């Protein structure tokens, strides 16, 4: 796929997958709107993308209010005029049994993983609909959108919600040229799995943790094919296949994986 001069908006650009996606898209000639919390890393990424002679700009989002998101979209459209591909990559992990999670952590996870994505997509939708070349919306849904994960009830809820939102929106937009791509991916290797989240790394490694560059390539291929859905990772593919032909086996497999990681 030729991305020359296509405008690609990537949220969560400051995480490892966001970095990999930005560099891959820049290498293919895209112009990038990179969205994340303000940081030196975000500005550095925008500078790195400029090495590919693409027009890339960092946009900070430090406020989760609807007004801040509307303002962000206005800034991006004032700069680029349109968006061809929206990649909803913003998200945080949430590990632990529900009773041990604070209300603040629960609300933050829902806000970042689901509410912000819905608000940003809504704010950008009028522009996407007008795109004569057929815009694309890419959602990072994760395996948790299909298989409930033990010790990740809140995270699973946000990913089920994101998948449901995307599928309902697809029906609303069936008379437009917008394509929606849901990405069912493995956990992406990152510094999230350090410190208090180290136990999550054990879990992620068992269920086929993915290198950011490999996951980014899978997403790029899905964009190229204008796929409705892409499943990345051998564990994900096997588990989803098992869930269709033997739901009990699939549930048992996931339960065993998560029980082992909790007690190790």
Tens-place pLDDT, residues 28-63: 999 999 999 988 899 999 999 988 867 999 999 998
Examine the pLDDT at 215 and tell me if it is beyond 70: yes
Q: Tell me if 119 is assigned to some domain.
A: yes
Q: Tell me if 256 is assigned to some domain.
A: no
Q: Decide which of 201 and 99 is more confident.
A: 99
Q: What is the per-residue pLDDT for 95?
A: 82
Q: What is the per-residue pLDDT for 245?
A: 79
Q: What is the per-residue pLDDT for 27?
A: 93
User: Quick one: 150 exposed, middle or buried, by C-beta within 10 A (0-12, 13-18, 19+)?
Assistant: middle
Sequence-ordered alpha helix ranges (H) in 59-173: 66-80, 103-110, 116-129, 153-172
Number of domains within the chain: 1
For residue 40, the enclosing domain spans 7-237
CA 247, distance to chain mean position in Å, is: 26
The CA distance from 161 to 110, in Å, is 9
**Token pair listed for 246:** 């033997």
Q: Tell me if 97 is assigned to some domain.
A: yes
The CA distance from 58 to 43, in Å, is 6
Q: Tell me if 190 is assigned to some domain.
A: yes
Name the residue among 45, 120, 62 with its Cα closest to residue 88.
120
- Please, what is the average pLDDT of the chain? 87
Examine the pLDDT at 140 and tell me if it is beyond 80: yes
- Helix/strand/coil for 1: coil
The percent of residues above 70 in pLDDT, for the chain, comes to 83
Q: What is the per-residue pLDDT for 209?
A: 61
Q: What is the per-residue pLDDT for 52?
A: 84
The CA distance from 5 to 197, in Å, is 39
Examine the pLDDT at 223 and tell me if it is beyond 90: yes
Q: Tell me if 82 is assigned to some domain.
A: yes
Regarding pTM above 0.75, the answer is yes
What is the arithmetic mean of pLDDT over 234-254?
71
Q: What is the per-residue pLDDT for 249?
A: 61
Q: Tell me if 246 is assigned to some domain.
A: no
pLDDT per position as a tens digit, 81-90 = 999 999 999 9
Q: What is the per-residue pLDDT for 126?
A: 97
pLDDT per position as a tens digit, 160-207 = 999 999 999 999 999 999 999 999 987 775 554 444 444 454 555 555
Q: Where residue 109 sits, what CATH number does that domain have?
A: 3.40.50.720
The CA distance from 31 to 50, in Å, is 9
Q: What is the per-residue pLDDT for 241?
A: 77
Q: Tell me if 242 is assigned to some domain.
A: no
Q: Tell me if 243 is assigned to some domain.
A: no
Examine the pLDDT at 252 and tell me if it is beyond 90: no
Q: Is the dihedral of CA 45, 209, 136, 60 positive or negative?
A: negative
Q: What is the per-residue pLDDT for 117?
A: 97
């Amino acid at each position: 796929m030729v991305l020359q001069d296509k405008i690609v908006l990537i949220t969560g650009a400051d995480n490892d997958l966001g970095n990999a996606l930005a560099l891959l898209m820049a290498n293919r000639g895209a112009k990038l709107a990179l969205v994340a919390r303000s940081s030196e890393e975000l500005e550095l990424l925008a500078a790195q993308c400029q090495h590919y002679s693409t027009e890339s700009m960092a946009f900070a989002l430090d406020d989760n209010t609807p007004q801040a998101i509307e303002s962000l979209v206005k800034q991006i459209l004032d700069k680029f005029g349109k968006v061809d591909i929206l990649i909803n990559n913003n998200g945080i992990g949430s590990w632990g049994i529900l009773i041990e999670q604070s209300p603040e952590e629960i609300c933050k996870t829902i806000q970042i993983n689901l509410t912000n994505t819905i608000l940003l997509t809504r704010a950008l939708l009028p522009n996407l609909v007008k795109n004569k070349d057929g815009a694309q919306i890419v959602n990072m849904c994760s395996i948790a959108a299909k298989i409930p994960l033990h010790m990740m009830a809140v995270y699973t809820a946000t990913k089920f919600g994101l998948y449901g939102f995307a599928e309902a929106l697809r029906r609303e937009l069936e008379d437009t040229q917008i394509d929606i791509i849901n990405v069912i991916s493995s956990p992406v290797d990152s510094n999230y799995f350090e410190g208090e989240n180290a136990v999550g790394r054990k879990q992620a490694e068992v269920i086929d943790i993915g290198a950011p560059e490999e996951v980014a390539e899978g997403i790029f291929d899905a964009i190229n094919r204008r796929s409705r859905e892409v499943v990345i990772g051998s564990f994900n593919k096997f588990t989803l296949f098992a869930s269709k032909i033997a739901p009990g086996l699939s549930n048992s497999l996931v339960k065993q994986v998560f029980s082992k990681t909790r007690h190790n």
